[in-house]
Copies of this chain bind each other. A is one copy, B any other.
Amino acid sequence: MAKISALSGFPEWLPAERIVEQHVIDTFRRVAELHGFSGLETRAVEPMSQLLRKGEIDKEVYVLRRLHADDEGPDAEQADPDRQLGLHFDLTVPLARYVLEHQNDLAFPFRRYQVQKVWRGERPQDGRFREFYQADLDVIGQDTLPVHVEAEVAIVMAEILAALPLPGFTIHANNRKLSEGFFRSIGVEDTQAALRCLDKLAKIGPDAVAALLREEAAASAEQAQACLAFAGIRTGDEGFADQVRALGGHGELMEEGIAELADVVRRVNTAVPGVCVADLSIARGLDYYTGTVFETFVEGHASLGSVCSGGRYDRLAADNRHGYPGVGLSIGLSRLVSRVLSAGIASATRPVPTCVLVAVADEEARGHSEAVATALRRRGIPAEIAPTAAKFGKQIRYADRRQIPFVWFPGAGDEEHAVRDIRSGEQVPAEPSTWEPPAEDLRPRVVRADG
């Protein structure tokens, strides 16, 4: 037997923990479908030519090779980037490819959610996972996509996060047009460089960012200070607009960004009160974004970083007929679940779906116990049958070890059946066709530690 040990960076859960993860996935799906998003699943692999387009060669992609490929002569698949395969590192590259591939079969705006594992070969000692779930929501237009979709996708995410067993969270929003318009209007022309510098604010602090702005964005000392003051603006309503103007920002692009951001903050807070703030420090490094950008933080868990990020991008994909603008948000689901579990934020009420263990008096009567279990299951009550006809005390201990709340004792012939709550020891007469467990015991539930 080969050595058995956990693989660093590849998290796996015990059954009770998996119930928490499944609950998070189910909640995501339920809310997304209520809002009319279609569930999509793409293959786990993409051609390396897709994964590395836009020159993203810094991505730690896992490349695949068939074990026996070498036996088949010169390896054409490995040499051709359109045929060499790698595991996807996010769900956005596959979405772009899927939309182009199936554009004639989709109705736009295309609304999809996708919850799948992604893989990144990063050093696990950085506290990063190499295999983890992402949960994405995107709306993709064909050639055009109305601006109000930016608020809409954030509202769906806010409803999802509010339905999860989490402490409070805040969605921080900014707008690329606002940032770029402001930088230009104070004379900082390399707006991408300025964004990349500000993106480091939380990591390296204001002094280092000021130095970086002068070095990399060719900002004067005064301009660097104005950028930092800009990034310090944070309001729960449209108050940010006057503060930006007071810093000397002006112009059409900036005012367009202000109007869009004010609209997002107002709409999201109307739908889920108090969850959205305008936070002009949100930069998100990627060149990719063209409108609203979002990051989301969980109260008391700043060290997690943003648990849900994204925004508006006008060029998800394009071919020679159409362009595909989109708005998308993505939850780093495994990272979030891992924290929920390790910090004891929430847990499952039991590790098994089973509500009732049906005892077996003797092996000849197993069929009788099976009939009881079948009657319970027909009414949606999860039931299993004791594995052996041991003494009842041993069968009760078995239920206790599996944390099954009820043990059923079938009555032989005309005898009454009885069911025992093994937590309280209370035993009552019961009929397989009518008995109901308390609603909170029917299935394992995921509950917050603080209530």
Contacts and interface: CB of A to CB of B under 8 A. Distances in A.
B35 A98 contact: no
Contacts of A402: 107
Interface stretch (A58-66, A177-185, A193-201, A279-287): A58-66
Contact of A18 (B40, B81, B100, B363): B40
Contacts of A146: 387-388
Contacts of A152: 385
Contacts of A450: none
A395 to B, nearest CB: 13
Contacts of A41: 12-13, 18, 21
B382 A131 contact: no
A66 B87 CA distance: 10
Given A39-B22, A43-B12, A387-B109, A6 B101 contact: yes
A34 B121 contact: no
Contact of A86 (B67, B141, B271, B370): B67
12 contacts: A3-B49, A7-B85, A44-B44, A44-B117, A57-B67, A63-B65, A67-B121, A109-B387, A111-B352, A146-B387, A148-B366, A271-B370
A374 interface: yes
Nearest to A82: B3
Contact of A319 (B1, B37, B69): B1
Interface in A60-95: 60-69, 81-82, 85-87
B34 A383 contact: yes
A102 interface: yes
B18 A39 contact: yes
B34 A380 contact: yes
A439 interface: no
A35 B377 contact: yes
A166 B270 CA distance: 46
A168 interface: no
Given A6-B101, A47-B2, A101-B4, A36 B107 contact: no
Contacts of A354: 36
A68 B121 contact: yes
A380 to B, nearest CB: 7
A15 B38 contact: yes
A414 interface: no
A10 interface: yes
A10 B271 contact: no
A318 interface: yes
A207 B142 CA distance: 61
A431 interface: no
A358 B404 CA distance: 45
A38 B353 CA distance: 6
B370 A42 contact: no
Contacts of A21: 41
A375 B449 CA distance: 30
A39 B19 contact: yes
B62 A64 contact: yes
Nearest to A149: B387
Interface string A436-451: 0000000100000000
Contacts of A43: 7, 10-12, 131
A68 B64 contact: no
A97 interface: yes
Contacts of A363: 148
Contacts of A68: 60, 121
A11 B98 CA distance: 12
A267 B366 CA distance: 11
A7 B121 contact: no
A302 interface: no
A381 B81 CA distance: 46
A380 B41 CA distance: 24
Contacts of A189: none
Contacts of A7: 43, 45, 47, 85
Contacts of A87: 64
